[in-house]
Structure 1
């Protein structure tokens, strides 16, 4: 009977002393109100009634920072939405260094966003976002280091701009695109003029090349079968042809008279 009683006591002791720590957790043992040790993942033993175990999730957390209304350095109101990636690297500091490390990290992230982004212009926020993300990460990591928290990343998800500013930026972007398009067209015209000048030099040295080019152009036009082709002639050639026809018309009566004389 005595042995059975001891066995029951032992079983109860084992049940209350066993703790299972998951792979992604770390246990913090507090003995009589004072930090005693940390427990790694697996099955661990503690002294019932004397020790308490608090588990801390060591995985990377993603904290969505509340929207922050910020006035930029050039007095532009902007609403910022960002996310923070952080991980607990020291469970004992996370539990004993701050009352609620999750809430504290979120509040510090909001403060860091307002103070750092407010010192930059709107143009810098749009063009140097990666640089600003790295600056926010370093600043937030320094603020949370005493709590045993490592900030691995800060990303600005969106920036809500005033409607008037959006329209102004859209007009500016459209004007910039039109300017680039005009420059490209002008550059193409300039290069085409240079090529035409080179071609004119070659044709002036080889007159036959002009005739070949004319025939090639006529061939391309005739392929569509919807155009009337007019053959250009030089004025000197046209005058020569006209004179030949006129000479033939004046010689025709004399030829007829000669034929009649022969018949007689």
Structure 2
């Protein structure tokens, strides 16, 4: 079996060390154990784990769900949540980051191992049987009878509006009857990154940054959340 590389993000030292020992006993490679989302993001600048075990309650300003959201937008590394938080609100928040699994503490060692192996298999075989699809444009349904093809390069950003969402180009706004998450999940381009709960931007359309305001195209701007700022800056070349 190919040895699977794991990053453990867990703020309880004894649990982190126990996880590390059990995984290494089963021939997994534990790249690191960290106790905060900020540390996890630093590790990912130099390491490439196959999977991430993520607790939801962490040290630092970012919780596990916020950290996983950033990781999914920047690295697309599969995340498995390990948490004793099972309330519906937490579970609903966690689902928005598209985890491959959610294990409630305490969990059985066998369940953890099977989850890791299945997650790794699904991640590595995700595209093995898929047919070729258009990667430079997307077909957007404008009503029950009509749809329009939009090039990714023409899209400035996506905007959430409760159960609806918008696709914004330089001169046109397309209203969609799906949530931002549903629309964003269908995009096949890595050029689109989430900068807040309400906005996903085309990184190639940035014309300037003023504080937490991102200028896009010739006349548009959106506000990014502070936790996404470093991720956005890391995606562009900055001359000082």
For the pair shown, which has the larger CA radius of gyration, 1 or 2? 1
**If the length of structure 2 is used for normalisation, what is the TM-score?**
0.20
Q: Which has the higher contact order (CA 8 A, sep 6+)?
A: 1
**If the length of structure 1 is used for normalisation, what is the TM-score?**
0.19
